């Protein structure tokens, strides 16, 4: 693997070089607040398209609120336009721009989620390829940045990742002290980007220091859950009716915050946006936490209580994704924990399940 070093202070210059090469660059940025110093203001860090290397927050702050999902799987995606002419309809394709894009400052958990989304939207899933996703995916390069300061909601090490993992990365950066970054070229796309940055990349990297740095940060993760027995426990359909689902889930208020901030949640709705005799059919984000999500036309709702909707979400992460799509459903970013207004914590479910799965005294339904 090709390695190099880069000065941390040169990241702004990197962004400028990428922009000069006519690439679209997306990086973490702080959003303006009404009263920056007021008690209500929180730092709002998001991935945003940037027009210059100034003001970027690459490597600063932990996780942008939005993740990278929206740059591959748009919040609002026009699928085609239509026009009614008397009894006839004309379908007009919508022109989409798929600019060659680099997303810089992606954390390892977010990078690992790309393969999961891909397993849903690519033709590997039942032979149906969502061209809007795959076109964007094939034109997007991820420059990842190992974490240095995980917070109390992070749990990537509980789902077989680590704060310095290069999984899903094209070009991976890790701080190795003295304001330097160890650069690893992971893929061909990463190599192409490295070429654009050539003037800033120096010599060889420092693999040993990089490994050590990664291991030190891994030590800082406090929220460790045993996820190994979870899938097996969920595979036993009798456990679908276990008492824990209602007990832990009854406080859930049914907003979609956890699903929309989740890097692997992929549910969507298809609706028409009509104006007079024309309109667009669009694909928009949806959430399995909404009460009408599975409501049948007959009025029957298979998930008629909120705790059943959260049960579906948990099953989706730890059973459906690995079983059906053969990719991880959870990357341990902790966004759902930070976002939940009522502190419904996915790792409490994980702990409970792991306990039930491994504790011989736990009552197991037949």
Partner 1 sequence: MSNIYQPDLMTITKVIQEAPGIKTFHLKFQDEEVANNFSFETGQFGEYSAFGAGESTFCIASSPTRPEHIECCFRETGKVTAALANLTEGDTIGFRGPYGNTFPLDDWKGKNLIFIGGGIALPPLRSVIWNCLDLREQDGRFGHISIVYGARSVQDLVYKREIEEWNQMENVTMVKTVDPGGETDDWDGHVGFVPHVLENDFKPDPENTVAIVCGPPIMIKFAFEALERLGFKQEQMVTTMENRMKCGLGKCGRCNIGSVYVCIDGPVFTATQLAALPNDF
Partner 2 sequence: MIEQIRNQARQLLENGDVDVVIGYAEGSDPSRTTPIFIRKAEDVEKLIYDPRCINSLPLYLNKRHEYTRKGWKKTAIIGKGCDIRAIVQLIAENQLKRDEIYILGVPCEGVVSHPEKWDGSLHDGNRASKCIGCDVMIPHETDFFPGEKPDVDRSSPYEATSKNVATLMELELDKRFAFWRTDFDRCFKCYACREVCPHCSCNTCITDETMPSWIDPAAHKKGVFSWHLTRAMHLVGRCTGCGECTRACPMGIQVDLFNQRMKEVVQESYSYKPGYSLEDKHPLITYKVDDREDFIK
Chain positions contacting partner 2, by CB under 8 A: 31-35, 38-40, 42, 44, 46, 65-66, 70, 75-76, 152-153, 223, 250-251, 253-257, 259-261, 269, 271, 273, 282, 284-285, 287, 290, 292, 304-306, 335, 337-339, 341-345, 347-348
Lookup result for tokens 């679209």: 24
Partner whose binding site includes residue 6, from partner 1, partner 2, none (CB under 5 to 8 Å by kind): none
Least separation in angstroms between residue 171's CB and partner 1 is 27
Least separation in angstroms between residue 287's CB and partner 1 is 9
Q: Would you tell me which residues interact with partner 1 (CB under 8 A)?
A: 79-80, 82, 84, 87-89, 91, 93, 120-121, 125-126, 128-131, 134-135, 237, 240-241, 266-272, 274, 279, 281, 283, 286, 288, 293-298, 300, 302-303, 308, 312, 315-316, 319-320, 323-324
Question: Edge-to-edge strand order for the sheet containing 24-30?
Answer: 3-7, 180-185, 171-175, 140-145, 101-106, 24-30, 45-50
- Of 223 and 303, the one with the shorter C-beta distance to partner 1 is 303
d(CA 274, CA 119): 32
Least separation in angstroms between residue 286's CB and partner 1 is 7
Partner whose binding site includes residue 95, from partner 1, partner 2, none (CB under 5 to 8 Å by kind): none
Partner whose binding site includes residue 253, from partner 1, partner 2, none (CB under 5 to 8 Å by kind): partner 2
Partner whose binding site includes residue 348, from partner 2, partner 1, none (CB under 5 to 8 Å by kind): partner 2
Residue 231's closest CA among 145, 357, 340, 93? 357
- Of 176 and 265, the one with the shorter C-beta distance to partner 2 is 265
In the chain, the N- to C-terminal Cα span, in Å, equals 51
d(CA 102, CA 94): 24
**Conformation bin of residue 151: beta by default, left when phi > 0, alpha when psi is -120 to 50:** beta
237 burial type by CB count under 10 A (0-12 exposed, 13-18 middle, 19+ buried): exposed
CA 192 to chain centre: 24
Token pair for 102: 């680099």
Question: Using alpha carbons only, what angle is made at residue 113 by residues 69 and 118, rounded to the nearest 5 degrees?
Answer: 80
Least separation in angstroms between residue 190's CB and partner 1 is 25
- Of 304 and 323, the one with the shorter C-beta distance to partner 2 is 304
Could you tell me if 249 and 311 are in contact, meaning their C-beta atoms sit under 8 angstroms apart? yes
Least separation in angstroms between residue 73's CB and partner 2 is 11
- Of 48 and 141, the one with the shorter C-beta distance to partner 2 is 48
- Of 83 and 216, the one with the shorter C-beta distance to partner 1 is 83
- Of 135 and 151, the one with the shorter C-beta distance to partner 1 is 135
If you ran DSSP here, which 8-state letter would residue 202 be given? B
Q: Phi and psi (nearest 5°) for 215?
A: -65, -40
- Provide the 10 A C-beta neighbour count for residue 195: 11
- Of 129 and 191, the one with the shorter C-beta distance to partner 1 is 129
- Provide the 10 A C-beta neighbour count for residue 245: 21
């Amino acid at each position: 693997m090709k390695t190099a070093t880069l000065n941390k202070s040169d990241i702004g210059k990197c962004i400028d070089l990428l922009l000069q090469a006519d690439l679209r660059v997306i990086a973490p940025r702080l959003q303006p607040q009404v009263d920056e110093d007021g008690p209500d203001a929180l730092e709002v860090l998001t991935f945003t398209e940037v027009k210059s290397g100034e003001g970027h927050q690459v490597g600063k702050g932990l996780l942008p609120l939005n993740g990278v999902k929206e740059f591959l799987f748009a919040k609002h995606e026009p699928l085609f336009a239509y026009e009614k002419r008397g009894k006839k309809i004309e379908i007009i394709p919508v022109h989409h721009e798929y600019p060659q894009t680099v997303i810089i400052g992606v954390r390892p958990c977010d990078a690992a989620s790309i393969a999961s989304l891909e397993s849903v939207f690519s033709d590997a899933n039942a032979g149906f390829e969502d061209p809007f996703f795959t076109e964007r995916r094939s034109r997007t390069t991820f420059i990842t940045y190992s974490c240095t300061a995980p917070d109390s909601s992070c749990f990537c090490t509980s789902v077989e990742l680590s704060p310095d993992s290069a999984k899903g990365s094209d070009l991976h950066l890790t701080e190795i002290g003295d304001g330097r970054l160890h650069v690893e070229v992971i893929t061909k796309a990463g190599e192409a980007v490295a070429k654009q940055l050539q003037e800033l990349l120096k010599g060889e990297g420092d693999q040993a220091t990089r490994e050590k740095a990664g291991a030190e940060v891994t030590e800082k993760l406090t929220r460790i859950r045993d996820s190994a027995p979870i899938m097996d426990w969920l595979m036993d359909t009798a456990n679908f009716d276990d008492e824990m689902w209602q007990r832990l889930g009854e406080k859930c208020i049914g907003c979609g915050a956890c699903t929309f901030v989740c890097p692997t949640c992929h549910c969507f709705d298809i609706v028409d946006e009509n104006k007079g005799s024309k309109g667009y059919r669009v694909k928009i984000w949806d959430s399995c936490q909404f009460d009408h999500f599975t409501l049948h036309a007959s009025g029957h709702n298979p998930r008629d209580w909120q705790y059943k909707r959260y049960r579906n979400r948990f099953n989706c992460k730890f059973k459906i994704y690995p079983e059906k799509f053969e990719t991880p459903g959870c990357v341990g970013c902790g966004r759902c924990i930070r976002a939940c207004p009522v502190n419904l914590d996915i790792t409490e479910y994980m702990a409970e399940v792991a306990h039930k799965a491994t504790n011989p005294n736990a009552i197991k339904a037949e």
